[in-house]
Amino acid sequence: MEPVSDATVYIVDDDAGVRDALAWLLRSRRLPSESFASAEAFDAMLQSHPPRHQPCCLLLDMRMPGMSGLALFDLLAQRGDLGTLPVIFLTGHADVPTAVDTVKRGAFDFCEKPFSDNALVDRIEQALAESARRLAQLRERSDLQLRLRELTERERDVLDRVVAGMPNKLIADQLEISVRTVEVHRARVFDKMQVKSAVELANLLRVGG
């Protein structure tokens, strides 16, 4: 798998030895990381400097003093932060059933301690790739919304009917304008939406919807 550029792996574990070992492992694979000794410290960072534009993932210890990893996961889920921040739980054997349940609720995966370095790094790289994919989708949707906002009300009327597969004559009849005017609006819609055909336009709206 190709490494994801400009990515960060967040490590949240109350055990300094685990944090140091994970940071060293990630450095050896050229994966930048940031470590936090508690869920509260990580959450404070996330709220003050949310990583909205770079791929990232979270290695999260399930059991910690204060806010547990599970409580932090639930908080992230409530806030909608899991979309671009895949979570990999680090868990002991006794917590495996709970970890499995969190995967069903949206966690990316869990790794049982002691974990295989290679297996863990493989999953981290897959999580970062998933984060990058989701960020790209968000950018595409944001770009699509910007293009749609550039359309006039009449151009939006024409767009809706073009996507529905209506011919120009029927669009003209429905909107009570000339076929030539429909053609002009249609051309402007294609130009603003950066497409060359009705099929391409429909596909764009479906993917971005």
Share of residues in the chain with pLDDT > 70 (%): 96
DSSP string across 54-97: S-EEEEEES--SSS-HHHHHHHHHHHTGGGS--EEEEE-GGGHH
Read off the pLDDT of residues 14-37 as tens digits, 9 standing for 90 and up.
Answer: 999 999 999 999 999 999 999 999
Of 5-14, 47-56, 64-73, the one with minimum mean pLDDT is 47-56
Confidence of residue 208 (pLDDT cuts 50, 70, 90): low
Residue with tokens 């011919």: 167
Question: Do 58 and 107 form a contact (C-beta atoms < 8 A)?
Answer: no
Taking 60 as the threshold, does the pLDDT of residue 84 lie above it?
yes
pTM (2 d.p.): 0.78
